[in-house]
Structure 1
Amino acid sequence: MFAIKTTSAHDRHFQLLVAELDAFQSVLYPAESNHCLDLTTVAEDGLHCVIVTGDANQPVGCGAVLMQQDGSAELKRIYVRSAWRGKQLGEAIVQRLEKIAIAQGCDQARLETGNQQLAAIRLYENLGYRQCEAFPPYQPDPLSVFMMKPL
């Protein structure tokens, strides 16, 4: 059983999960292809974070959605600890973030992920995301996969 709740980018459990994600990605990609925005530097009125808790209220996953000036939303920092993968948590996180984006008036969700994260790419495709060109603030990167979905 798991629960998803909203949290702050400053929440220590959220930060711990993001640090695990950063460590995971640093093994897969060189520093110049790790597009890791420090969410604690983003104005909180345009950022919404969620954390997933499992047994004994332990943090097992996270994600965030960043509202953009153009009416779109960017999904950020979606991560599920390996022991909890395969339990539909990634889908639940993305769907919760999409609901938040819709409630904020966004008409499109976008994301950037790495080309080595095949399970993540499949997850996003199964949820209706399609590959697209790089979008601001990103530049094209052969190690990045850019995706979008109308909301």
Structure 2
Amino acid sequence: MDSIVKVVQTTSENSDFLSLIKTFDEYLWERYPELKTNYWGNNIIELNRNVVVIYLDEKPVACGCFKKYDKNTIEIKRMFVSPEARGLGLAQRVLQELELWAKQLNYSVSVLETLHKQQEAINLYQKVGYAIVDNYGPYIGLDKSVCMKKEI
């Protein structure tokens, strides 16, 4: 029997999103304990009206969001897929949904930051057209950050 995939546009107040982000943060701090003090402030989720949660058979398994970076640019944040749902193309689906939503809101550029050990994420972003750029904003001078950009 095929799994049922449901994509929901929501806000950062969504309890399933908050639960996924809690799991994501635990994963990041386990993998990168040395970076917690440098990065913690960049991962605080203020009220965000542009959140996508993907459900697999009614279980929340993937998420992401974006926030306005400047007049034409969004910044992708908090991309995460639960370990049991990896390899199903859900991260790419979250990204596509976020980019489409941003385009509907008249944004034309997307930027994001990931960490150097996140090779799977870097590969995914490059596969869908993101290019590595100089670190921007809060990531300037942080050598573990990999910043990327794409015209959407």
TM-score (norm 1): 0.90
**In the aligned structure 2, how far is the partner of 1:104 from the partner of 1:137?**
24
Runs of 4+ with deviation above 6 angstroms = none
Please give the secondary structure, in 2, of the residue aligned with 1:128: coil
Conserved? CA contact 2:62–2:81, under 8 Å: yes
1:21 aligns with 2:24: yes
* 2:43 alignment partner in structure 1: 37
**In the aligned structure 2, how far is the partner of 1:22 from the partner of 1:88?**
21
Shift of 1:33: 4.0
Bigger CA drift: 61-70 or 116-125? 61-70
* 2:100 alignment partner in structure 1: 99
Please give the secondary structure, in 1, of the residue aligned with 2:139: coil
* 1:53 alignment partner in structure 2: 55
Q: Give the letter for the 1:54 counterpart.
A: L
Conserved? CA contact 2:73–2:109, under 8 Å: yes
* 1:148 alignment partner in structure 2: 149
Shift of 1:8: 1.5
What number of residue pairs does the alignment pair up?
146
**In the aligned structure 2, how far is the partner of 1:2 from the partner of 1:34?**
32
When residues 70 and 133 of structure 1 are mapped into structure 2, their CA distance, relative to the original with a 3 A threshold, is farther
Q: Give the letter for the 2:16 counterpart.
A: H
Q: Give the letter for the 1:19 counterpart.
A: K
* 2:123 alignment partner in structure 1: 122
| 1:52-102 alpha-carbon deviations (Å, 9 max, x no partner) | 1011x1101100011223310000001000111110101100000000111
* 1:3 alignment partner in structure 2: 6
Shift of 1:6: 0.7
Conserved? CA contact 2:139–2:145, under 8 Å: no
Percent identity between matched residues is 26
Instruction: Note the residue ranges of structure 1 that are not aligned, 5 or more in a row.
Output: none
Shift of 1:31: 1.0
Q: Give the letter for the 2:30 counterpart.
A: V
TM-score (norm 2): 0.90
Instruction: Note the residue ranges of structure 2 that are not aligned, 5 or more in a row.
Output: none
